[in-house]
């Protein structure tokens, strides 16, 4: 593929976003949550774990510890027991208990709506913060998970692997009001069609716009 100008790449990103919007009109965050706190906890739990696996443990977790007050006071071993079926459950149990305590100490038990505050919480990085901001607060942000990163490289939007740098590159291609839904659509597409090992390019709705780098 010839070197693409920033304007051409942006125009192609807009077209791909539109194509994915048509293919996945119901694209959304696939973690189950009812409150910003539940989304924050679920997103921390989702690291190196599927959303489906997280959704299997959060009903019991939130039934017992559905608020920062309850989770901060929990015995970590009891939380570990609930989370035992997901990866890294011991460190995740410690993190969600600790972040609950921090919410009480520093934010009055409320989840803050600023990235700079969220990333100071135990177990919370930019990816988790952007998920929470976009889905609980309506704040534009780009979530670079494994799917968004992989598809962005295949589609020729970036050559980079560092999630923060990929986030910044994607942010220059689309208007902020499209960032959250673009990421939902990319994640849906990455799970359902443009998979890691055997992408189904033959049925991809945006194949004609994709250079299929590395495929």
Q: Let me know if 42 is exposed, middle or buried by CB neighbors in 10 A (0-12, 13-18, 19+).
A: buried
Give me the percent of the chain exceeding a pLDDT of 90.
97
How much of the chain is in helix, strand and coil states, percent to nearest 5?
A: 60, 0, 40
Per-residue pLDDT tens digits for 92-108: 999 999 999 999 999 99
Provide the pLDDT for residue 27: 98
Per-residue pLDDT tens digits for 12-49: 999 999 999 999 999 999 999 999 999 999 999 999 99
Residues annotated as catalytic (active site), given as ranges = 127, 145
CATH architecture assigned to 6-28+141-209? Orthogonal Bundle (1.10)
pLDDT at 1 over 60: no
- Counted residue by residue, the chain has a size of 215
d(CA 138, CA 204): 29
Domain with CATH 1.10.340.30 in the chain: 36-136
Dihedral sign, CA of 36, 92, 86, 76? negative
In angstroms, what CA-CA distances link 155 with 5, 69, 104, 214?
Answer: 14, 44, 43, 10
Provide the pLDDT for residue 94: 98
Q: Let me know if 16 is exposed, middle or buried by CB neighbors in 10 A (0-12, 13-18, 19+).
A: buried
CATH H-level, domain 36-136: superfamily: Hypothetical protein; domain 2 (1.10.340.30)
Tokens 């007050």 map to which residue? 69
pLDDT at 2 over 70: no
Mean pLDDT of all residues in the chain?
A: 97
CA dihedral 124, 130, 136, 140 (to 10 degrees): 160
Domain with CATH 1.10.1670.10 in the chain: 6-28+141-209
pLDDT at 160 over 90: yes
């Amino acid at each position: 593929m010839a070197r693409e100008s920033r304007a051409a790449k942006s125009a192609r990103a807009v077209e791909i976003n539109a194509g994915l919007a048509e293919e996945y009109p119901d694209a959304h965050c696939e973690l189950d949550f009812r409150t910003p706190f539940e989304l924050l906890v679920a997103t921390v739990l989702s690291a190196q774990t599927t959303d489906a696996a997280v959704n299997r443990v959060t009903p019991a977790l939130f039934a017992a510890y559905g608020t920062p007050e309850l989770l901060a006071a929990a015995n970590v071993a009891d939380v570990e027991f609930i989370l035992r079926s997901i990866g890294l459950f011991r460190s995740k149990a410690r993190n969600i208990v600790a972040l609950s305590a921090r919410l009480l100490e520093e934010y009055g038990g409320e989840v803050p709506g600023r990235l700079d505050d969220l990333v100071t919480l135990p177990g919370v990085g930019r990816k988790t913060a952007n998920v929470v901001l976009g889905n609980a607060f309506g704040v534009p942000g780009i979530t670079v998970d494994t799917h968004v990163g992989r598809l962005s490289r295949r589609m020729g939007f970036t050559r980079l692997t560092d999630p923060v740098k990929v986030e910044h590159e994607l942010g220059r291609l689309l208007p902020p009001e499209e960032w959250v839904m673009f990421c939902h659509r990319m994640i849906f597409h990455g799970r359902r069609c443009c998979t890691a090992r055997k992408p189904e390019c033959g049925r991809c709705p945006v194949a004609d716009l994709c250079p299929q780098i590395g495929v």
